[in-house]
A and B are shown apart, each in its own frame.
Chain A
Amino acid sequence: MSVVALKPYSFPAKDVRENFPAPLLFIGWDDHLMFGSPVALPLPPDTPFGALGTAVLPGIYGYHPDFARIDWDKVEWLKSGQPWTPDPAKSLAENGLKHKDVIRFRTPGLSGINGSCN
């Protein structure tokens, strides 16, 4: 135990998987700071990964003029900051995504308003 305390210090974690209707996934779009921060989404584990680009992300990032120009075959993904190749046909769970994982995507050639990363 690293907390210095008078008595044993053990309390349940607030954000364990069981507390959510679906595992939480954090998603960020690199070089598009107009959105300020990555987003948090509870997504059913059987959601096909490919549905992110077609069904989930448009509502979040569609405001950006770059979004419509994304070539999803060329998108580069990162998981926990490391390059990662998901299979779009498989589900989130089959792609190994667990509760509170963070994934990011890069869109080569699209780096924000006039290339400003915004």
Chain B
Amino acid sequence: MDTPVIKKKLGLKDRYAAMTRDLAWDTTYQPMDKVFPYDKYEGIKIHDWDKWEDPFRLTMDAYWKYQGEKEKKLYAVIEAFAQNNGQLGITDARYVNALKLFLTGVTPLEYYAYRGFAHAGRQFTGAGARVACQMQSIDELRHHQTETHALSHYNKYFNGLHSPQHMFDRVWYLSVPKSFFEDAYTGGPFEFLTAVSFSFEYVLTNLLFVPFMSGAAHNGDMSTVTFGFSAQSDESRHMTLGIECIKFMLEQDPDNVPIVQGWIDKWFWRGYRLLSIVAMMQDYMLPKRVMSWRESWEMYVEDNGEALFKDLARYGIRKPKGWIQACEGKDHISHQTFAVFYNYSAAAALHTWIPKEEEMAWLSEKYPETFDQVYKPRWDYWREQADKGNRFYQKTLPMLCQTCQIPMIFTEPGDATKISYRESDYLGNKYHCCSDHCKEIFDNEPEKYVQAWLPPQQVYQGNCFKPDADPTQEGFDPLLAVLDYYNLKVGSDNFDFDGSEDQKNFAAWRGDSTEGAQK
């Protein structure tokens, strides 16, 4: 009798190892450094790629199955939302402006992340890191698609959602997220991982996804909640990649520590500046508030960050340089950012408004040391003027920070009444920054930031008109020509929420649907 042959089935870990390590080989007829030129030039020393612990420990078949199931659930909810006219269930049409900001400011970043990880995934000589980057790359592409699909329903009913990709490359405030990612993916692959996987995904992403999605839930937007949850389960994998890549670099060679610390300093600050739009969304743009920016900052950054950097201290890593200033900013940045959008609402593809009395009371309560003293007086004055038909719009283009590309709205540490100006000279030209940390980032790599595509400068250089625009023609209005170049529909996408089509339509539809329900 033959002895039966027992075929041993590989465990998940072995299957993953087979899929990653076994896919790698050393080149023979070309030097490895020529085939992989990117994974050494930044100065990061890797002695043993096999020490990389794979955070994406899923085999490809399990990954497709798992993601496929999530997609089915997601699209079922999106479809049900559409069929049941879910847009009528949101708290207030003002809420949709948070979605406009998300679609134009965040969704294109998912696409950039997809490109960045695909690039990094090609460049590492370590197969584990390569596969992890490729898997994350696929996730990011999926996020770009699901967010676009989920929000496209709103595009049928509300203004400002029609050209996110076009606007991303052109509209002034969108240069902030765009420059963040272009800075990251024009760094080397290890800097990219530190910037996106660690500083953004690990340290700061909770601030983006958790309050945004809780905000969506509180405001009746179940479609957005679903894509948020669907993405968030990927985010936890991405966060694991973030912490793993940092620890891996630090453990491989002590020479890596100062390089990584420099990147953490830079990217914590750039990420923090980028999240100003989330701060204003939380404090001003959600008709039903979840928690203040200050509270989220304390929970997700101060508490979690303290523990994280305590943990990293054994490698010789300290908290990012701008930590104290960023923590001080929790009392200010949401107010400063929404105020500048209020100033420039004529040139934005979203509406702004003056907070209602009860919303101001909420802000006073959440910001007991700053709101009444520093920020409320301007809202009160603007309201007084708006009531007289004299709504304030700033028509002159703002001065921007050369690094973060945000208008120079941020104030001096310790004095919220003084704009913080910093200046550098480089090759006979002047460059201006909003803070010590943005200046330091500029001064470290001026060659990079002198190429910044700053929207006001580009407008004044005449680069923001459509090809057929003729500035010499009589009656040429440069502002209208710029808005045309943005593909912004004047009178429906911009200006104040009060009196907007969004406001009127929503009120009419809600009236109809309430009447219908009563009948």
The binding surface of chain A is classed by DSSP as loop
Our count of residue pairs bridging A and B at CB distance below 8 angstroms stands at 150
| Interface range, A side | 35 or more
| B398 CB–A CB distance under 8 Å | yes
In whole Å, how far is A22's beta carbon from the nearest beta carbon of chain B?
9
| A102 CB–B CB distance under 8 Å | yes
Q: Which residues of the other chain, A, contact B336 by a CB distance below 8 angstroms?
A: 36
Stretch binding the partner chain, chosen from B49-57, B113-121, B223-231, B388-396: B388-396
| A88 CB–B CB distance under 8 Å | no
| A41 CB–B CB distance under 8 Å | yes
Q: Which residues of the other chain, B, contact A41 by a CB distance below 8 angstroms?
A: 396-397
Q: Which residues of the other chain, B, contact A33 by a CB distance below 8 angstroms?
A: 339, 374, 378, 411, 417, 419
- Whether B419 contacts A28 by the Cβ 8 Å rule is yes
| Interface range, B side | 35 or more
- The answer to whether A30 and B418 touch (CB under 8 A), given A3-B448, A36-B407, A38-B408, is yes
* Whole-angstrom CA separation of A47 from B431 in the bound complex: 23
* Whole-angstrom CA separation of A1 from B446 in the bound complex: 9
* Whole-angstrom CA separation of A2 from B441 in the bound complex: 11
Q: Which residues of the other chain, A, contact B390 by a CB distance below 8 angstroms?
A: 63
- The answer to whether A39 and B397 touch (CB under 8 A), given A13-B450, A14-B453, is yes
- The answer to whether A81 and B423 touch (CB under 8 A), given A14-B452, A19-B461, A117-B417, is yes
- The answer to whether A36 and B423 touch (CB under 8 A), given A6-B41, A16-B429, A42-B460, is no
* Whole-angstrom CA separation of A30 from B407 in the bound complex: 15
- The answer to whether A37 and B407 touch (CB under 8 A), given A15-B457, A26-B399, is yes
| B517 CB–A CB distance under 8 Å | no
- Whether A14 contacts B429 by the Cβ 8 Å rule is no
Report which residue of B397, B430, B453 has the largest number of chain A beta carbons within 10 angstroms of its beta carbon.
B430
Interface string of B420-443 (1 = CB under 8 A from A): 010100110111100000000000
| B444 CB–A CB distance under 8 Å | yes
Among A2, A63, A100, the residue within 8 A (CB) of B444 is A2
Name the CB-closest residue of B to A14: B451
Interface string of A93-106 (1 = CB under 8 A from B): 00000111110100
| B343 CB–A CB distance under 8 Å | yes
Q: Which residues of the other chain, B, contact A20 by a CB distance below 8 angstroms?
A: 457, 460-461
Name the CB-closest residue of B to A27: B399
| B377 CB–A CB distance under 8 Å | yes
- The answer to whether A80 and B381 touch (CB under 8 A), given A2-B445, A35-B343, A37-B399, is no
Interface string of A71-103 (1 = CB under 8 A from B): 000000000110000000000000000111110
- Whether B340 contacts A26 by the Cβ 8 Å rule is no
In whole Å, how far is B33's beta carbon from the nearest beta carbon of chain A?
11
| B491 CB–A CB distance under 8 Å | no
| A48 CB–B CB distance under 8 Å | no
- Whether B430 contacts A11 by the Cβ 8 Å rule is no
| A22-53 interface with B by 8 A CB criterion | 24, 26, 28, 30-31, 33-42
In whole Å, how far is B436's beta carbon from the nearest beta carbon of chain A?
13
Q: Can you list 24 A-B contacts with CB-CB less than 8 angstroms, sorted by A residue number? A: A2-B444, A9-B448, A10-B447, A11-B451, A14-B451, A20-B460, A20-B461, A26-B432, A30-B419, A33-B419, A35-B343, A36-B343, A36-B407, A40-B396, A40-B400, A41-B396, A41-B397, A63-B390, A81-B423, A102-B421, A102-B430, A113-B378, A113-B380, A116-B378
* Contacts from B to A (Cβ < 8 Å): 37-38, 41-43, 188, 336, 339-340, 343, 373-375, 377-378, 380-382, 385, 390, 392, 394-400, 407-409, 411, 417-419, 421, 423, 426-427, 429-432, 444-448, 450-454, 456-458, 460-462
* Contacts from A to B (Cβ < 8 Å): 1-6, 9-16, 19-21, 24, 26, 28, 30-31, 33-42, 59-60, 63, 80-81, 98-102, 104, 112-114, 116-118
